[in-house]
Amino acid sequence: MVTKLAWRNLWRNKRRTFIVIAAIMFAVLLSTVMDSLQAGVYENNIKNMVGFYTGYAQVHQKGYWDDQIMDNTFEDVEGLKKEILANSHVEEVVSRLESFTLAASRKKTTTTQLIGFDPEAEQALTKLKDKLIAGSYPSPEDRALLIGEGVATKLELGIGDSIVLMGQGYHGVSATGLYPIMAIAKFGSPELNKSVIYLPLKEAQYFYGAENRLTSYALLLDKGSAVDEVVADLQQRLDTHAYEVMNWNEMMPWLLQMQQADAGGNKVMMGILYLVIGFVIFGTLLMMIQERQYEFGVVMAVGMKKRKVALMTLIEMLFMTLIAIVSSFTLTIPLLWYFKENPIQLGGEMEEVYQQYGFEAIMPASLDPSIFYYQAIVVFVLAMLVYAFSINKIFRIKPVEAMRH
């Protein structure tokens, strides 16, 4: 009965109902957009960071990550790679053999990270070829180096010059070699730029005396959000006594920490937004009740209990909130999809610095479904809270005075 009355009330004054619904809809829209942009920035940062080098996940010999020495390498058996590729989210497995090595020219010496790499697979993950500023990209058979721009400057060498490499190989053998530089690349991260030297995998294995051995498989996934699933799956299927499967957040804990540091700030921002949109809903409700004073006065005068009137408005509110939340998705999803495809461009000085670091200066939206659910629930609770605040106006109505309006 009361429900029926409430439902009819809604459509008696359509314009008023639409205004309230619009206020709530807009609240969902704004909070979802804000949350989605905040999340989108992180997703993008992670994508950029893992694309620099590590990949979303890596597989190593067990114990390698804590103790990165040549003796903690594993054999590159065909079955292992197949097993990893069996997971449908894994698009490419990038083999690497890397260690610290001294690099010397005639006059200078510097410490570098020598990475034995698979040129094709590496291109798929880190787009190494696109970073070349001189020379040509090595093929798997080449016995020549691709070096960071910073290494070239430090050693005062260019294309065609040779570098002496000295390091420690597998089982403690001393590794030395002389290689020509065939390519120079500029990396976004200054750290990489001044320390990396790439050598095709086969030659690197020969250099380290580590025939057919690898330090890591870096995994290229079809989407970043699948990483937990992939890691769990591989931990199940690979022999975890022999191998370790690591998530990017274990390899780069500081990246996650930085996000956690920001998370608090974002929550405060969301809190401020909730205050503002909560008030918009509150204002709308308050005016709605005020406008309906006469009507409430009449129904009370003919014997409807105040509690019943309040219940009726509560049901009206529930209807309106639910309609608003459901219909808001028809607005937010296309809007966010648009912002994901056409991210907000950050301009000015920041764009330059971002690009210098190899980051894209954009603010894309995230389409993570949990954002929609979460914000819908928050706004629902917010609307109900606000309703609870405005309800006491109904209890204070004196029917006789109200009808005089």
Smallest separation (angstroms) from other proteins to the CB of 67: 7
8 Å CB contact between 395 and 296:
no
CB contact at 8 A, 256 and 119: no
Work out how close the CB of 98 gets to other proteins at its nearest, in angstroms, rounded to a whole number.
13
Positions that interact with other proteins (CB under 8 A)? 15-16, 19, 22-23, 26-27, 30, 33-34, 37, 41, 66-69, 100, 102, 107-112, 153-154, 168, 191, 195, 253-254, 257, 260-265, 267-269, 272-273, 275-277, 279-280, 282-284, 286-288, 290-291, 344, 346-350, 353-354, 357, 363
**Taking every pair of C-alpha atoms in the chain, what is the biggest distance, in angstroms?**
103
CA 330: distance to chain centroid? 24
Nearer to other proteins, 137 or 359 (CB): 359
Angle among Cα 74, 210, 204 to the nearest 5 degrees reads 110
Are the C-beta atoms of 306 and 397 separated by less than 8 Å?
Answer: yes
- Minimum distance from residue 224 beta carbon to other proteins (Å): 20
Smallest distance from the beta carbon of 195 to other proteins, in angstroms? 7
Residue 114 near residue 176, CB atoms below 8 Å? no
Could you give the CA distance from residue 19 to residue 15 in angstroms, rounded to a whole number? 6
Q: Which is nearer to other proteins, 68 or 225 (CB)?
A: 68
Q: 357 CB contacts (<8 Å, ≥6 apart)?
A: 188, 189, 190
Closest distance between other proteins and the C-beta of residue 160, in Å?
22
Q: Which tokens sit at 268?
A: 């405060």
Tell me how far, at minimum, the Cβ of 33 lies from other proteins, in Å: 6
CB of 383 to other proteins, least distance (A): 14
Q: Which is nearer to other proteins, 2 or 19 (CB)?
A: 19
Please identify, using beta-carbon distances, which residue of 3 and 111 lies nearer to other proteins.
111
* Contact call for residues 184 and 159 (beta carbons, < 8 A): yes
Q: Give the residue from 292, 286, 305, 291 showing the smallest Cα distance to 389.
A: 286
User: Which C-beta is closer to other proteins: that of 78 or that of 349?
Assistant: 349
By beta-carbon proximity to other proteins, the closer residue of 166 and 388 is 166
Nearer to other proteins, 41 or 309 (CB): 41
Q: Number of H helices and number of E strands within the chain?
A: 16, 14
**For other proteins, the closer CB: 205 or 293:** 293
How far apart are alpha carbons 230 and 248 in whole angstroms?
12
For 179-236, the three-class secondary structure string (H helix, E strand, C coil) is EEEEEEECCCCHHHHCCEEEEEHHHHHHHCCCCCEECEEEEEECCHHHHHHHHHHHHH
Q: How far is the CB of 23 from other proteins (least distance, A)?
A: 5
Q: How far is the CB of 13 from other proteins (least distance, A)?
A: 9
Token pair, residue 56, equals: 């979303």
Rank residues 304 and 362 by Cβ distance to other proteins and give the closer one: 362
Q: Name, in order, each residue with C-beta under 8 angstroms of 103's C-beta and a sequence gap of 6 or more.
A: 109, 110, 111, 112, 114, 151, 155, 163, 164, 165, 197
Nearer to other proteins, 19 or 159 (CB): 19
Helix (H) or strand (E) holding 199: strand 196-200
Cβ 123 to other proteins, closest distance in Å?
26
| Total residues belonging to the chain | 405
